[in-house]
Amino acid sequence: MPQSTTAAQRTHRLVPSPAGRVHLVEQGTGPLVLLVHGFPESWYSWRHQLPALAAAGYRAVAVDVRGYGRSSRPADVAAYRMLDLVEDNAAVVRALGEESAVVVGHDWGATIAAHSALVRPDVFRAAALLGVPYTPPGGPRPSEVFAGMGGEGRDEFYVSYFQEPGRAEAEIEPDVRGWLAGFYAALSADAMPGPGDPGPHFTGPGGTLRERFPAGALPGWLDEAGLDVYAGEFERTGLTGALNRYRNMDRDWEDLARFAGAPLTVPSLFIGGALDASTTWLADAIKAFPDTLPGLSGTHLLDGCGHWVQQERPAEVNRLLTDWLAALPA
């Protein structure tokens, strides 16, 4: 099948990183905008933003985060700590011959983007966060917080469920495509569980996440061909690299202790889905933005939108991003 014009304009590259290599997809010329995906996705989650940013005069670069796609996948669980991912991002900027970049992230990518700008403001001059609000490092140890989040019947929170190497993999990898379809649907506005349904964020005692996925069609933002792209990557790589990000949250807590309570002072933007658990559970974090994001230009909660914000609402997100980028200091 011939490539579309948009796809033909993309350039796939491998660049060196501390772990070995980062795979990226690039489109356009101009100031560098680095796009960082979340779980369980890839560079492909930015397919709608690459051409829009390129058309607006930017060099848009979407990476496969360490552990995903064609990027390196170290065997050591500790190799997926936040500081290593920050250095991967800085390495991409250097490898592209640039001195600085604006970083944009979604889901885990939002947290990686925020910490990239927090730890390396010399490289990352602004940060846009999609889906997951910024919360400064510090506070209680994460594993203790997540262990206490079980609901009735002592359900287990998904972050705790992901901690033991091999456990979630045993659920997902026998049917990667089916699992991804259910997970994407469960966090989408048009297919997420109704009120009172714990959805995919909790497992019952001895259960699996998949048991609580909605049955039925794919969410409206994802077609069969798109699902094939995601499934094909994870069928090839497995899920361990992606899941290892969750297995480093206590290490991050220790590594980032020197930044405890620190605001993110670079120019920033937040876009989230009004129906996303990440914005409802972390509503207090959003209320704290005047203190934690003093460079914030706007908070945009999109009505009727779920977790996959830049894929569920690409036109709206593209407009918000390009307007914000255009207003940034040169």
- Catalytic residue annotation: 107, 307
Residue 185 token pair = 């649907």
* Nearest-angstrom CA–CA distance, 317 and 91: 27
Sign of CA dihedral 153, 159, 163, 166: positive
Distances (CA, A) of 258 to 86, 118, 223, 293, 294: 16, 11, 44, 18, 19
* Nearest-angstrom CA–CA distance, 261 and 258: 9
Residue 200 token pair = 């995919």
* Nearest-angstrom CA–CA distance, 126 and 42: 22
Distance between alpha carbon 308 and the CA centroid of its chain, in Å?
Answer: 9
CA-based nearest residue to 244, from 6, 97, 73: 73
Contact 263, 117 (CB under 8 A): no
What is the maximum alpha-carbon separation in the chain?
A: 54
Contact 221, 311 (CB under 8 A): yes
Residue 286 token pair = 């959003």
* Nearest-angstrom CA–CA distance, 48 and 26: 13
Which helix (H) or strand (E) segment holds residue 253: the answer is: helix 249-255
Residue 238 token pair = 């497995």
